[in-house]
Amino acid sequence: MKQFLIFIKKEWLHIWRDRRTLFILIWMPIVQILLYGFALTNEVKNSKIAIFDQSKDEATRAISNRIAASRYFSLVKNVHTYQDIDSTFKQGKIRMAIVFPAGFRNDLLHGNHAQIQLIADASDPNTANTLANYASAIINDYQQELNQHQDLPYTIQVQVRMLYNPELKGAYNFVPGVMALVLMLVCAMMTSISIVKEKEIGTMEVILVSPLKPFRIIIAKTIPYLLVSLLNIASILLLSVYALGVPIVGSLTLLLAESILFTITSLSVGILISNTAKTQQTAMFTSMMSLFLPTLLFSGFLFPVENMPVPLQVISNIVPARWYFIIVKAVMIKGLGFASIWKETTILLGMTVALLGVSIYQFKTRL
C-alpha cells in the first residue's frame, strides 16, 4: 500500500511540474463551457430581418411591430422592391425577409385569404426553419386576437409546453455534452500519454522489473487523472449552475457517481491506447481521432442519433459518451432517478469492465 502511495505521489509530481499541461487541463472545460454558453450558441436571437410592405396599412404595421419587438428578430431594413430583398440577402445583411402584398388588410377583412411571404436564407436550414416558425407563430397570434370577438364555429388551439427546458436554452443540451467530451479527452488522452511517456524514457521497464504488480502500476498511474477529472466535473457543474443558469434538478450524488463511472471508462480507453502506441505523439493522435470525433458526432450532443442512418446509429451504440450523455441529461436536466437510467448505467458499466479487463490483460502480456 505504501508503495502504491509513493507511486501516486510521483505521478502527481509529474502533473504538477508540467504547469502548461495542468493549466490546459483545468482551463479547457471552463473555456469550453463559456464558449458554448456565450459565443457558440445555436439559439435564435435578434436575427436580422427586412420587411417589404407593399400595403402599409393598419394590419401590416401591427404585424411588423410585433415581429420587430420580439427578442428573436431585429428589423434592420425596410425594403421597397424585390430586387432590394435579393441584394440585401446577397450582402448577407439579413437572414429573413417578410413580404406583405398590396391590399393586405383588405384581403384579410373582406377576401378571407390574406397572404404573407416569408423568405429565409436556407443556407443554414435549421436556423431558416426556426425563424420561419417563430415568425408564423407571431402572425398566428395576431390572427387569433382578430378572431377573439367573433364566434368561429370550429377552432383548435394548440398549446405547447416545453418540458425540462421551458426557455429552450441551448445550455441544457451542451453542458452534458461538454462533460462527456472533457472527461473523455482528459482521462483517455492524458493517461495514454503518461503511460507511453514512461515507455519512451525507459522507466516503465525498470518499474516492471520491480516488485510492483502491473495491475497496481496501471491503477496508480490513473488515479491522479481521476482527481483532475473530478476537479473538472466540479468546475463544469459550478459554471453551469451559477453562470449559465442550468440547474441540477436530480440527485447530485447520482450524477457524481455516474460521472466517476464514465471517468473510469475513459481511463480504461486511455490504457488501451497506450498499449498500442509507441510514441507520445501517436498516443495523442490516436486519442484525438478515436475519441474526440466519435464523442462529438455520436454522443447525440451535436446531432440527434435518431436522425442518423441505421449503420451510424449502430456505431453510436459503442461510443461510451453516448450513454453517459443520456444519463447526465436524465439526472441533471430531467431530474430522473436511478430507476430510469439503470439500463444506460449497466451498458456503461459493462463497457468499463470489458475495457479495463482487456487493457490490463494486454498491458501485462505486451511487456
Q: Name the residues that contact another protein, by CB under 8 A.
A: 2-3, 6-7, 10, 13-14, 17-18, 201-203, 205-212, 367
Grouping H, G, I as helix, E, B as strand and the rest as coil, residue 178 is helix
**Angle at which helices 19-34 and 2-17 pack, to 10 degrees?**
70
Q: Decide if 114 contacts 104 (C-beta within 8 A).
A: yes
Cell 502548461 sits on residue: 20
CA–CA gap between residue 365 and residue 367 (Å, rounded): 5
The minimum distance between CB 1 and another protein, in angstroms, equals 11
Q: Which is nearer to another protein, 183 or 217 (CB)?
A: 217
Half-sphere exposure of 117 (CA within 13 A, CB side): 12
The minimum distance between CB 217 and another protein, in angstroms, equals 9
Grid cell in block for residue 241: 449552475
**E-strand stretches of the chain:** 47-53, 73-79, 96-100, 117-120
Grouping H, G, I as helix, E, B as strand and the rest as coil, residue 264 is helix
The minimum distance between CB 211 and another protein, in angstroms, equals 4
The minimum distance between CB 214 and another protein, in angstroms, equals 10
Q: Which is nearer to another protein, 16 or 164 (CB)?
A: 16
CA–CA gap between residue 122 and residue 73 (Å, rounded): 16
3-state helix vs strand vs coil in the chain, percent to 5: 70, 5, 25
Q: Which is nearer to another protein, 2 or 45 (CB)?
A: 2
Q: Which is nearer to another protein, 198 or 344 (CB)?
A: 198
Q: Which of 229, 250, 247 is nearest to 239 (CA)?
A: 247
The minimum distance between CB 358 and another protein, in angstroms, equals 20
**Angle at which helices 280-287 and 252-276 pack, to 10 degrees?**
130
Q: Which is nearer to another protein, 64 or 274 (CB)?
A: 274
Q: Which is nearer to another protein, 6 or 31 (CB)?
A: 6
CA–CA gap between residue 137 and residue 166 (Å, rounded): 17
The minimum distance between CB 190 and another protein, in angstroms, equals 15
The minimum distance between CB 89 and another protein, in angstroms, equals 57
Q: Decide if 189 contacts 270 (C-beta within 8 A).
A: yes
Q: Which is nearer to another protein, 50 or 217 (CB)?
A: 217
